[in-house]
Structure 1
């Protein structure tokens, strides 16, 4: 339901809380959408306490709350949730419709595929697709039936939108493995470290964000009631990071397998995962796991593979899987299998 007028200016004490990290270039893109339609953006800027003169300041930044406020006001005044990114407006409620259409999917993977497919019903300027290869999944954005390539604001907005919604669907922060963009690094390239929590590459053939494919199998955790509540203030999904990660167990397994020598204790492992040791233990407990059990699981699997497929000495196997000495490994292996590593290897070869 579009609003014909801009909301009253919000309390600047709330709007200006937090670091000003969002590039003013994104606000300038919104004002250009106003200008293209012969409208005045000053009301939306006033709502967010952004001085019109600052919009042309290439180095200016605003807070996340200001970005939320000006985006909400502009969407309502323009009746365009695309904020001028596409050749035709996306009327108020368009992205809510996409979110609802995917809500009944049993898993995140199916929900994202539906969202990408249905997005083309709103606009055919770009094509969105979910691509999974091995352990990695990508949401790719490619230009389609429009001569001009998508703008930076369009690319960032769409990818941030779907990333935020995906995290909300499964009630989990989905860390990105990386992101790529089909344009040169902008003057505000440092802001991309905040916008996308993974390595960013520029000058790519098309835009995309990548993440662990294991998230695609997570069940949807939201219902119609929570959807209605979220849609009242959906924009924070795209301007604020989601914190909880429901795949911490999987990430711990991956780190323990890939970097066994760097993860001897909880502090070292937590540092590799960019969390505190306390948070690591608490989230694992919430997921019904313990660090010691995961270490035993990963080490046992790796040890049996090395003992079975190689002729490495027991001492080297112990070192390869992260044990500080051979005696500790033998003691642990007996606890796992009831046999010493040498006995187990001999039995398997017989």
Structure 2
């Protein structure tokens, strides 16, 4: 069974909170079996089981405090790196929320969130994946962080349609209502937060198509690497990281995994692939993603895939897919597609 993991840098909120109350976070992390150095690595991962143990210890240490809200006050959008930056660059709050759910494996491979939409509302639901103590803390923390982001990005100042938690309140109920509004319920069968759809559909000032164009393929590759956690996925991610300024060579790819070239080639053969195939797959996937954006010119697509000349890109793309980039885009953007 694959071990469930959580983005290590998302635990920085805990170190900030502990430091704010005069507690050295290092021994607390160590007691839960977490290496504090992982928190400074952009793609560091920690075991979900270790995180659950850490959160349970914190609640036991601060039984009278609403730790979910306290931790949310110490959250920085940059803790989740490219995911948060891409969400902020979305055209609307609804687009941002959809991206957070689509790429949630970057934060937690347990992928506990789903989104449900109707004509009037949008509901974000969370499946329970921790023990009761840790689960309630996580529910409060995540919903508080997302609501704060929506208020900041979309200018939402009204009340939620409703919010429900599966457990009993930790700390005064008034604290929940102060942050989430009047429609808070506890001991519910499902944790969810419901937001007026009209609020989320408003265009936001932080929308940036250039950031989306650059980051969306990276997010997709990051998710694959986290879910699959194998050598080919890691190499495809390394290739994507090198683009557009540089096209990773096979020797560089081997060195990135601390392997000799021969060992690297043998490991890929054991996985049923070769470096050249991974290079072509990565650039094909990136090109196909970018071609779905009509605002991105064919020369820009080629540039983001590591080609300095559009003609070279067009020849390579036809070799990969059997179609020219322009024909692929026409088919992709056709009304009946």
Q: TM-score range by the shorter chain?
A: 0.3 to 0.5
Relative contact order (alpha carbons < 8 A, sep ≥ 6): 1 or 2 greater?
2
TM norm structure 1: 0.39
Structure with bigger helix share is: 2
